[in-house]
Amino acid sequence: MSGKSLFEKVWEDHLVVPESGDNPAVFFIDLHLIHEVTTPQAFNLLRERGLKVRRPDLTLATMDHSTPTVPVSRLGDLEVVAEPEAAKQIRAMIENCREFGIDLHGFDSEHRGIVHVIGPELGATQPGKTIVCGDSHSSTHGAFGALAFGIGSTEVGHVLATQTLLQRKPKTMAVNINGTLPDGVGAKDIILALIGKIGVDGGVGHVIEYRGDAIRALNMEQRMTVCNMTIEGGARAGMIAPDDTTIEYLAGRPMVPQGADWDAAVERWLSLPSDPDAHFDKVVDLDVSNLAPMVTFGTNPGMVVPVTDSIPADSGDLSFGKALNYMGLKAGQPMLGTPVDVVFVGSCTNSRMTDLRQTAELLKGRKVASNVRMLVVPGSQSVKQRAEAEGLHDIITAAGAEWRESGCSMCLGMNGDVVPAGKLCVSTSNRNFEGRQGVGARTVLASPATAVAAAVAGSIADPRALLTH
């Protein structure tokens, strides 16, 4: 009998009722993250059935998707700065949390921010936990060795009412990422290259465990970037085994155990990595020693090439041609030099201190091109405060970029931060679907370094050139 994988250890530890041929498993949830977009229907379901929230203490609430990234000091400001539907969602979230006894990180909270940023910041995200949220990019928390995944609005209601979820056990996939990253290449390039290799459906039905020396060399914020985009490769969740880097990040955070409980937790967490003889249903290898900065050219994250490459030839696939037509690009066209209108640094993929420090470092002494609007949006109010304490915002604004309040911002066009129709945006977010950043918006996904290079050049550019000047 083979050993157990990280996933299997966490899965088995949370079974309330095992899976059978007829029924999925009943699965306990340690942490339920909620925000204003996918909860209104869930709270209405509770009202209709006369139910309470079973474990408010295991529910972490914030506002992020619909919140404007201009200053809002009171609710009355919403009518001025927010879209009507967004303002309605925000008001409903505040009322729902008040009615059901859930603490909310609202406009008056110094911890408000993107749900997948504040969970780790607060130490609510911990190894071995099961974590769900009505958001596709919940896999972010897997960077800590948690089993984390997105759920639908009806499932949000189920978790609120029972603190459990019905689940079929997924298969497992080991992704071994090895080699030393070249200068100018980062975590975002790793995950884009992987999705390009396996395709947007390569992980369907699986939980991925990211392994290898290239993963171990990443800090926690970079690991979160990798796990964040797991869903874009079709997988249910992505996980990285906890190690000393994980423990160092979590130490002293508000919601982690303290004293003797901390010592016991660390011992438990460090027992979670996969056993040497653990079996995986699928194995993928990726050597990043010669990896280049990556950029997307189409309308899904799997349509990706090195920034120095040209767009691949059209194989006759109708969806391929449709994507290029939407993007206003052609097969064989070099990506370098493609004109850029907007640059966005932010989202739950790339809005943490590591990302903002790199952005400021590369912008220092440079100017955003006159034809480009650049937004830099921190992932939380805490990140914003830390960045400002380091003077990063001064460098960013001196270069001509806009420095905003925290929120999901331009990742999705529902909070006032939108890319105009027909304009091309180089974005550090996670999805380049048609209309994702606004009706008719064209999105190129890239790392913060590549985004800065594009902002400075006014066109898609190789960030490695900034390192030599």
pLDDT in tens, 311-363: 999 877 889 999 999 999 999 999 999 999 999 999 999 999 999 999 999 99
Q: Is 456's pLDDT higher than 80?
A: yes
If asked whether residues 236 and 116 sit together in one domain, one would say no
Whether residue 254 is contained in a domain is answered as no
Output the pLDDT for position 76.
57
The first and second tokens of residue 266, run together, are 């660390």
Instruction: Find the CATH number of the domain harbouring 344.
Output: 3.30.499.10
If asked whether residues 198 and 135 sit together in one domain, one would say no
If asked whether residues 227 and 328 sit together in one domain, one would say no
β-strands 59-62, 206-211: how paired? unpaired
Q: Is 81's pLDDT higher than 80?
A: no
If asked whether residues 351 and 400 sit together in one domain, one would say yes
Look at residues 285, 265, 241, 273 and name the one whose alpha carbon lies nearest to residue 3: 273
Output the pLDDT for position 77.
59
Q: Is 36's pLDDT higher than 80?
A: yes
pLDDT (mean) for 432-443: 96
The first and second tokens of residue 9, run together, are 């250890």
Whether residue 124 is contained in a domain is answered as yes
pLDDT-derived band at 468, boundaries 50, 70, 90:
confident
Structural domain that includes position 201 = 171-243+268-287
Output the pLDDT for position 104.
97
167, 196, 229 - which closes a domain = 167
If asked whether residues 324 and 434 sit together in one domain, one would say yes
The overall average pLDDT reported for the chain is 95
**Positive or negative torsion for Cα 460, 462, 466, 468:** negative
Q: Is 1's pLDDT higher than 70?
A: no
Q: Is 246's pLDDT higher than 70?
A: yes
Which run of H or of E encompasses 321? helix 318-327
Which residue is listed with tokens 């995200």? 125
Q: Is 133's pLDDT higher than 80?
A: yes
Output the pLDDT for position 469.
63
Whether residue 263 is contained in a domain is answered as no
The 10 Å Cβ neighbour count of residue 261 is: 10
SS3 139: helix
Whether residue 256 is contained in a domain is answered as no
Structurally, how many domains does the chain consist of?
3
Cα(156)–Cα(124) distance, integer angstroms = 18
Which residue is listed with tokens 């604004």? 397
Cα(71)–Cα(85) distance, integer angstroms = 18
pLDDT digits 0-9 by tens, 114-132:
999 999 999 999 999 999 9
Asked whether the beta carbons of 206 and 147 are under 8 A apart, the reply is no
**Overall pTM surpassing 0.85 (yes/no):** yes
Q: What is the largest CA-CA distance in the chain?
A: 64
Whether residue 211 is contained in a domain is answered as yes
Output the pLDDT for position 71.
78
If asked whether residues 310 and 459 sit together in one domain, one would say yes
Whether residue 249 is contained in a domain is answered as no
If asked whether residues 302 and 390 sit together in one domain, one would say yes
Cα(376)–Cα(398) distance, integer angstroms = 12
Cα(228)–Cα(190) distance, integer angstroms = 12
pLDDT-derived band at 413, boundaries 50, 70, 90:
confident
